[in-house]
Structure 1
Amino acid sequence: MAHVRDQESLKIIERCQVSPPPNSIPTTSIPISFLDIPWLYISPIQRIFFYEFPFPTQTFLQTLIPKLKHSLSITLQHFFPFASNLVYPPKPHFPYFLYQDGDSIPFTIAESTTNFDTSYLTPPNMSQICTHLFPRCLHLVPRRMEHVIYLSWRFSKNGDSTSHEASVPLPFHNSDIIQDPKGLRKLKMMENMWNSPTPSKEIAIVFTDMVRATFVLSPDQIERLKKWVIAKCSNSDHFKTLHISTFVVTSSLIWVCFVRSEEIIGYNVPNDDELYHLIFLADCRNHHEVSIPSTYFGNCLGYRTVTMKRSELVGNNAIVEAVRAIKCQVRDVLSDPFKGLDTMTPEHKGRVVSGHGVVIAGSPKLGVYETNFGWGKPKKSEVVHIDSSKSIAFSDCRDNEGGVEVGLTLGRIQMNNFTAIMKKYLSDITNLNH
């Protein structure tokens, strides 16, 4: 599906700020932990939600918008760091979040005449919470929002803070729970940041021939893929003792198709010894060596980079080789969840992503299509920044429990090539399983 960027079809109705209820939160500062530092200079995931709303615009503006604003205000009372400011004091002091009464987040209401059934609108600036009205469709755009705040916003949509508190566990904000007693990791990582050149402001460039597509892998296709990989590795004791997850096989298939799709007429294909990188994130709060409450409201992510030669990713055994490499890094997270975080600098990010690197954004486990504000499941959800960040978006499926939605943006010719390659892989795997 191609992006539509017709600014004339977008009419801004209102711009405002939403704060927690007045005097509901004292002035509060929260020091960052060493787990927050790598994400200070990395663009946030920007996800949009489309909802069916088959009522007149005036009904939406007069009835629904006031409730949304009020419930968002109540939600921010508990998730006030979203409305706070990130303060960078002079070296050698560490950054911290500071909330003061009246701090707020922007909220924009706009109306569009874009036909949702054939296209959707993606404004170039996604730095704020937006509500876009489409014909029969409601569109929500978050700013650095995690899944949990949507759950809270959903439960408090009627402005009932009591039902909200009873339905959703309240967040835990004390970053001292992160174990770094001497502050050595924080100091080392901040030194890396202080000594790095100031990263230039990222500018999203979307070429005119770029198209966006969503591919859905059904539970049956994923299961067949797992069985096919296991059969290919039947002589390997390594695979006999390891569980091959949906994430591993899906990532392997998509990565191989992505790399192979570069082999198109007129494309400058690298040589076989060129290194390719796949970056994925891992939630580490449940790790046995990390005592962090499930309600902790802060970063608790590790990351891993899978590196392979191009020859391995385009060979006859490419998917199996990718499974081996990705599975090895997944297993490594279990043994040392925070390995490599202290080397994650702006230069590192630039080297990987500007080269042959791709990032997995999102996860099927986040339950994107469970984000119900009272209008049913979202009709569609999209990750915006994959247009310009060399990312591939993973999420759960709207109508196919256990399946995976994969979103990516490529040039039109490469997208056609990608589609044909993946279709051939899935067809071959299905035939072999019969």
Structure 2
Amino acid sequence: MASIRNSVTIHETIRVSPSTNSATEFCLPLTFFDMLWLNMPRAESLFFYKVTELTPELFNSVILPKLNHSLSLTLLHYLPLAGKLKWPPHAPKPAIYYSLNDAVSVSVAESKADFNRLSSNEIREAVELRPLVPELFTSDDVAELLSIQITMFPNQGFSIGFSNDHVIIDAHCLSMFMKSWVHICKKLVKEEEDHPLLPAALTPLFDRTLINDPSGTDMYLAKSWLDFHSSSRSWNIWPHDGQNSNSVRATFELTREDIKKLRDKVLSFNEFESKQLRLSTFVLTCAYVFVCLVKARGGESDRNVHFGFVADYKNRLDPPVPMNYIGNCVASHIVFTKARDFMAENGVGIVAEKISDGIKELESKGVVEQIKETLEKFMKVMSEPQQQSLGVSWSPRLDVYGFDFGWGRPKKMEIVSIDRGGAISIAKSRDEDGGAVEVGVVLDKQEMESFGSLFFDGLRNL
């Protein structure tokens, strides 16, 4: 780990702000959707940009200044992201406090590592990506919401790493923030424009009245939080660093043809022919990868396995929430089952059916009922640590490879935080196949070898 850390040098850490002088503090309340993500491990994402002619002069005199300046202009629209999460003693629930003087921490670094290997799909140690994502300051009293690290790889390219608190930024919100930053940066590159405006689709809405909560679910969740944490309001209750130093990381791709074959395979079993299954790319990808993960782990077939997926409620609320709303509008759905379901001959179909049924259940019940059920299931998960836990980060609906600041599309995107156990990442593939996805996986070395064999052998046998 020390040698890996030594391959990255932090040259400076600056505070990028909207460049205003007002000290007036504003308060953005948390909705019940936000409350579900209190003190969850921070989300960490990483984007690699290949620039083969990248010299320190080009990086320091052109790329870095434009990124920082456009970030400052972007924060004028996204002020709460520069704020802090606090729970004052007199307040019934936490909130985000921010002012026009707040800033986002940006670390500027240089790496001696092999850019092409780090940004590849091949197996490499998971800890190798950790020095490329920044720390996110958290204390008992306050928690930062966003920090960024920009790392130069001389003559190879650069990376942009994000650490963010899920309490305000889900995957959709981070994607929208990135699109806004890209839009403003490219305007500066092309037009030398000092104050470019954002199009309507990228203009963020922070209006919390858009989330109706007549039954006070936010206060129910605040009380549940305090009960679970013995009335502590500290943001340092749970450790945020739990990755296994022996883990390895790799990316696996499913083409549009692979997805079609998986769908046909599931429908070939008589038990699924007459059922109205929702066999979307997301459902089939989760089912196939989860089956490979459980088989790679091995163990008794009657052991407990639970898996979760996140549902977006924007279009499920009445009235629907606009797509440019910034704040959580997602909640997890957890399914409990046995390893034998994954190990069966028709395991992909069984798991796909469970995910499909879970999606239907989301649509048949009220939002508040779903939220409370999720909380109860989460408590059950916490009380039974011996289960195999599976989850999903990011979404194939988000075009992560469209974030071109002016020096080309990302070569690779990684969700670094999946190295903290259980989750995979699913993203739209860079190859623009129209239906291809890439799946990020972190496992110990032996399990990764087994998973790789199961993954590729299974596709060959479809």
User: Which of 369, 375, 390 is 1:344 aligned to?
Assistant: 375
- The separation in 2 between residues aligned to 1:97 and 1:326, in whole angstroms, is 34
The answer to whether the 8 A contact 1:49-1:140 is kept is: yes
Deviations 1:340-379, CA, capped at 9 Å, x for gaps? 4235387456346763111101111111111111122101
- In structure 2, the partner of 1:175 is 208
Deviations 1:140-179, CA, capped at 9 Å, x for gaps? 0113261001001001114446544237531111112211
Give 1:204 deviation, angstroms: 2.7
User: Which of 339, 347, 362 is 2:394 aligned to?
Assistant: 362
The answer to whether the 8 A contact 1:277-1:352 is kept is: no
The answer to whether the 8 A contact 1:284-1:290 is kept is: no
The answer to whether the 8 A contact 2:179-2:202 is kept is: no
The answer to whether the 8 A contact 1:4-1:122 is kept is: no
User: Which of 324, 328, 332 is 2:361 aligned to?
Assistant: 332
The answer to whether the 8 A contact 1:52-1:379 is kept is: yes
- The separation in 1 between residues aligned to 2:74 and 2:384, in whole angstroms, is 37
The answer to whether the 8 A contact 1:84-1:104 is kept is: yes
- The separation in 1 between residues aligned to 2:332 and 2:284, in whole angstroms, is 18
- The separation in 2 between residues aligned to 1:391 and 1:89, in whole angstroms, is 33
**Count of residues in Structure 1 that have an aligned counterpart in Structure 2:** 417
TM-score (norm 1): 0.90
- In structure 2, the partner of 1:266 is none
Structure 2 SS opposite 1:195: helix
| Bigger shift: residues 7-16 or 121-130 | 121-130
User: Which of 425, 434, 440 is 1:401 aligned to?
Assistant: 434
Deviations 1:193-245, CA, capped at 9 Å, x for gaps? 0111253223233233x211100000011011111111224764223xx4411
The answer to whether the aligner puts 1:281 opposite 2:310 as a matched pair is: yes
User: Which of 112, 115, 134 is 2:153 aligned to?
Assistant: 134
The answer to whether the 8 A contact 1:353-1:390 is kept is: no
Distance change in 2, residues 1:347/1:90 (3 Å): farther
Matched residue type, 1:134: F
- The separation in 1 between residues aligned to 2:159 and 2:226, in whole angstroms, is 39
**Identity %, equivalent residues:** 27
- In structure 2, the partner of 1:165 is 198
The answer to whether the 8 A contact 2:281-2:435 is kept is: no
- The separation in 2 between residues aligned to 1:133 and 1:376, in whole angstroms, is 15
- The separation in 1 between residues aligned to 2:183 and 2:24, in whole angstroms, is 24
Matched residue type, 1:383: I
Matched residue type, 1:359: G
Structure 1 SS opposite 2:285: helix
Give 1:45 deviation, angstroms: 2.4
- In structure 1, the partner of 2:181 is 153
- In structure 1, the partner of 2:122 is none
Distance change in 2, residues 1:155/1:193 (3 Å): same
Structure 1: gaps of 5 or more residues? 264-268, 430-434
Deviations 1:243-289, CA, capped at 9 Å, x for gaps? 411111111100000000013xxxxx2x3222211111011101153
Structure 2: gaps of 5 or more residues? 120-127, 137-146
- In structure 2, the partner of 1:432 is none
Matched residue type, 1:156: I
- The separation in 2 between residues aligned to 1:25 and 1:245, in whole angstroms, is 49
- In structure 1, the partner of 2:124 is none
The aligned runs of 1:21-170 (5 Å cut-off) are 21-23=19-21, 27-53=25-51, 54-90=53-89, 93-119=92-118, 121-123=128-130, 126-127=135-136, 128-135=147-154, 136-144=156-164, 146-157=174-185, 158-159=187-188, 160=193, 163-166=196-199, 168-170=201-203
Structure 1 SS opposite 2:110: strand
Distance change in 2, residues 1:151/1:5 (3 Å): farther
The aligned runs of 1:405-416 (5 Å cut-off) are 405-416=438-449
The answer to whether the 8 A contact 2:287-2:352 is kept is: yes
The answer to whether the aligner puts 1:307 opposite 2:336 as a matched pair is: yes
- The separation in 2 between residues aligned to 1:165 and 1:80, in whole angstroms, is 14
Q: Which runs of 4+ in 1 moved over 6 A?
A: none
The answer to whether the 8 A contact 1:155-1:164 is kept is: no
- The separation in 1 between residues aligned to 2:2 and 2:437, in whole angstroms, is 25
The answer to whether the 8 A contact 1:302-1:333 is kept is: no
Give 1:322 deviation, angstroms: 0.7
- In structure 1, the partner of 2:275 is 238
Deviations 1:316-342, CA, capped at 9 Å, x for gaps? 221111111111001112223454423
- The separation in 2 between residues aligned to 1:24 and 1:172, in whole angstroms, is 21
The answer to whether the 8 A contact 1:46-1:126 is kept is: no
User: For the aligned residues, what is the CA RMSD?
Assistant: 2.3
- The separation in 2 between residues aligned to 1:339 and 1:352, in whole angstroms, is 23
- The separation in 2 between residues aligned to 1:372 and 1:16, in whole angstroms, is 23
Deviations 1:100-143, CA, capped at 9 Å, x for gaps? 23111100110111111223642355433000111311100113
Distance change in 2, residues 1:370/1:56 (3 Å): same
Distance change in 2, residues 1:306/1:322 (3 Å): same
Distance change in 2, residues 1:260/1:402 (3 Å): same
Matched residue type, 1:105: V
